Structure 1
Amino acid sequence: MIHSVKFKRVLFSIGVFVAICFCTFTYAQAQSPKFKVIAFYTAKNDRAHISYVHEANKWFPKIAQQYNFTYDSTSNWDNLNTKFLSQYQVVLFLDTRPEAPAQREAFRQYMENGGAWMGFHFAAFALNNSAFNQDWDWYHNDFLGSGEYKSNTWRPTSAILRVEAQKHPATKHLPETFKSSPNEWYRWKNDLKANPDIEILMSIDSSSFPLGTGPKPHEIWHSGYYPVVWTNKNYKMIYLNMGHNDIDYEGKTNKELSFTLANDTQNQFLIDALLWLGNGKKVKYNKRK
């Protein structure tokens, strides 16, 4: 009888131990991040872009904690190398692009080997005879598809955006149209709609016109078709034109007048886009001949 009681106690202890181990393992699994994000930025030119970078580097860590991924950021573009990038499933360009040939090649290889990317606003900017020449054909023509910058609206204003691909994982929770945060809107040299590799996710709805306040007439758009968010179907990527906060330049106070991430609908898109980029499912890369 004594042996039987001892045996039952041993079995009970083993059961408790197994249950604790299982719960610990399950908790560890639940807490391990789904994916890792690294954001590159420069934050040296244009107060509006610097403001957005600071805003993003406060907002994304909160979202990462909420949705169980990790968010790191760096202003050291030399980290754009194969060894460093191998630690991350998603790369963000918050305000600029890499300039050094080795950095550019590492990024191209990362994307062609199944990496994921999201770029904001000035990350797509290129204009010959400027500080950011169009000297990277793969990135601007093949990858982004947009080519050179052509013009922009001014002042930063909200636009009504039309969701053109409502079945895409990044736009699945969006209404047909919604009002964006204020932004400086770009247009591009290349016709993105004519590019079979490009899927346009959002464009400026015609109800937005006139868009911009000037004072220069060409800074106000009265008509036309302007894609503002798109993906290249050959890569796991999304570019969005947002990322330029409004700053009081005219009054010379440099006060922040608007914030990109103060818009719940737009933020839902960013969250869904990041979760899609980090879900581990790779897009089959179709190398051009």
Structure 2
Amino acid sequence: MEKVRCLIIGGGPAGYTSAIYASRAGLAPVLYEGMEPGGQLTTTTVVENFPGFPEGIDANVLMSGMREQALRFGSDIRNGAITSVDFSSRPLKVTVDSGHGIEADAVIIATGASAKYLGLPSERKFRGLGVSACATCDGFFYRRKDVAVVGGGDTACEEATYLAGICRKVYMIVRRDVFRASLAMQERVKSTPNIEILWNCSTKEVLGDENGVTGARIERKDGTVFDIAVDGFFLAIGHHPNSDVFKEYVRTDDNGYILTAGESCATNVEGVFAAGDVRDPRYRQAITAAASGCKAALEVEKYLM
């Protein structure tokens, strides 16, 4: 059984930032990157809202840079995902998918959250080429263009309203004949002139060519099929925090997001901290994930002292 002082689980902005700070603090962190090294950000293309890059930066280049920075300061970054944990006693125990066991004095959970998709082959084909699950991240690329938003909850209404401020037209594809969103959000959408709501509709296919998304094929509840021309196709049907493996020990909310103590990254388990989108159902930005990774590492340093 390998013994480490600080174990970081997850290789996105929160995980890599935690590793940078923990390494500089002399904690010799070991980081397992999980099934998606670089995190959810790597499903997009250019990041234009991360501070310090006035011309924007390729998402994979940004994540690669964070990773290299963590390595430079001595982080031990490894491939592999955590398949089970035992936080019932100290030291904290985890098992990697290779079967390797680790005992840690402190653990930072930075496993992120995964956007929910419709499951269409064409949706996967155009992911990063017009298909996105983050309007705040990618909406800027569709200024004065037509886009579609799938969903009928608060998130969908917020995304549609945001996009309506920069896009020429926004179609909202809503499966039912009513919104699930709060009344205030419903009224905001309905009063926005360049948002068209397609009630009782579902997406059959995302349309496109070698340059990316060109439209979507929609089916009404009555069986009518029609196409809309759009340049961007945004999913707003929710996220799933990657917290399942920890739920036996770490407290979560009803949606699976890890609960922490106020502004702290500390969980209900002594020595276990959470950072990034796995604890953040609200902002879900690379910059906020990185910030919480910094906080988690500083808290671990203090805890281990």
User: Is TM more than 0.5 here?
Assistant: no
**TM-score (norm. length: structure 2):** 0.30
More strand by share: 2
Rg: which structure is higher? 1
